[in-house]
Chains A and B, each alone.
Chain A
């Protein structure tokens, strides 16, 4: 991440070296969480969630609490001064006096980037519209590393809403850095990955292709990353209704899949993964949610410069 300002706005802010150090720290915390219970004693995390969330906000809060710190904030724009028309900049400037680190989710793309220009306090992008969600990417990377033992030389299928699915964009960007990865983008025409993501893939030199049906590629995959078609990203309800159930992963579709396939989903899931798949040992999505807490602990420590304290 940007060492000078110590923000995490995009996964691009993290160098490969920093990323690997953070993943390693996440794994160490996962193994011995008790050793980190006082690392953030006296520190405060502000969770500014202008858009609702369950996992991201609670995992941030759980992460800070498990590090011995405290949490303050709000969980929707309605319960903040944004409802009175306050700008993001003013909110962040104010909160900077009350907290040591900020995690922000906002429906507008680029809001956390705009926020970090107004404060010296580290800002973490906890999701900005359909744009980026770097802490989900860190979660995904820790999950893949834990489940598969590596981050390269894999065939990764990404399925569903690849247009507005911010988790997918950041994951592609991060995984395209690792040699030997091949990407298969599975989406309806209307929800194809945006041009800049396809450009990133072209530049990376990774092999990639687009398909419309998951059945075509199931047997090739090492990782299958399912996404939800998100109602909140559509301006038109009819389009949402038409596209929402395009892909439903069930036991039958998994028959040709590899025995060590890693099935991931950023959650919340609606219909895109049948509940019968939950009992399949290849279903990693709930373990993925747990990884989210550990990697956020590692991230908070890193942005506050406390990972070095631990080394001493």
Chain B
């Protein structure tokens, strides 16, 4: 399979195998007019298998969302066909409208205009807490 190299754009590398399509949807890449390629189950010396997304245009990425979904993703910025910058992600301290508070007693359950905001409470166990009700959010559910 041939996927052309990109002149100017972004390559999301080291995506956990199987998560590529989730990230494609979360970044709303289906709405892009440029070429977007998803490579699934590519061989990886680091992880065994991985997914890759190539976007043939510079776009603003939601780094918090990506960091939350998979902090091992590497973001490669390509300019003039060459790697211009490599960014590593980490679990973000704050999430805004990435995950949704599921506490029915929380004010976010009734006030539509309030942004669902979480702060990282426990990095090791990936626990975030809603800033309004303090309820912990453990599973990797994404708000979109």
Question: Contact at A113–B132, with CB atoms within 8 Å?
Answer: yes
Report if A96 contacts B (CB, 8 A). no
Q: Mark A105-129, 1 if CB is under 8 A from B, else 0.
A: 0111111011000000000000011
Size class of the contact patch on chain A: 10 to 19
Question: Contact at B136–A109, with CB atoms within 8 Å?
Answer: no
Residues of A within 8 A of B133 (CB): 109-110, 129, 131
Q: Give A contacts to B, CB under 8 Å.
A: 87-89, 106-111, 113-114, 128-131, 195-196
Return 21 A-B CB contacts under 8 Å, by A number.
Answer: A87-B111, A87-B113, A89-B111, A108-B106, A108-B110, A109-B105, A109-B106, A109-B132, A109-B135, A110-B106, A110-B107, A110-B108, A111-B107, A113-B107, A113-B131, A114-B107, A129-B105, A131-B105, A131-B134, A196-B121, A196-B136
Question: Contact at A109–B103, with CB atoms within 8 Å?
Answer: yes
Residues of A within 8 A of B112 (CB): 87
Question: Contact at B107–A196, with CB atoms within 8 Å?
Answer: no
The one of A87, A89, A196 in contact with B134, judged by C-beta atoms closer than 8 angstroms, is A196
Residues of A within 8 A of B132 (CB): 109-111, 113-114
How many angstroms between the C-alpha atoms of A88 and B109 in the bound complex? 13
The interface residues of chain B, by DSSP majority, are classed as: loop
Report if B114 contacts A (CB, 8 A). yes
Residues of B within 8 A of A111 (CB): 107, 132
The one of A108, A130, A195 in contact with B107, judged by C-beta atoms closer than 8 angstroms, is A108
Cβ of B137 to closest chain A Cβ, rounded Å = 12
Report if B95 contacts A (CB, 8 A). no
Cβ of B97 to closest chain A Cβ, rounded Å = 15
CB-CB nearest in chain A for B132: A110
How many angstroms between the C-alpha atoms of A141 and B108 in the bound complex? 31
Cβ of B40 to closest chain A Cβ, rounded Å = 38
Q: Mark B109-124, 1 if CB is under 8 A from A, else 0.
A: 1111110000001000
How many angstroms between the C-alpha atoms of A195 and B138 in the bound complex? 13
Q: Mark B65-107, 1 if CB is under 8 A from A, else 0.
A: 0000000000000000000000000000000000000010111
CB-CB nearest in chain B for A113: B132
Residues of B within 8 A of A114 (CB): 107, 111, 114, 132
How many angstroms between the C-alpha atoms of A129 and B121 in the bound complex? 22
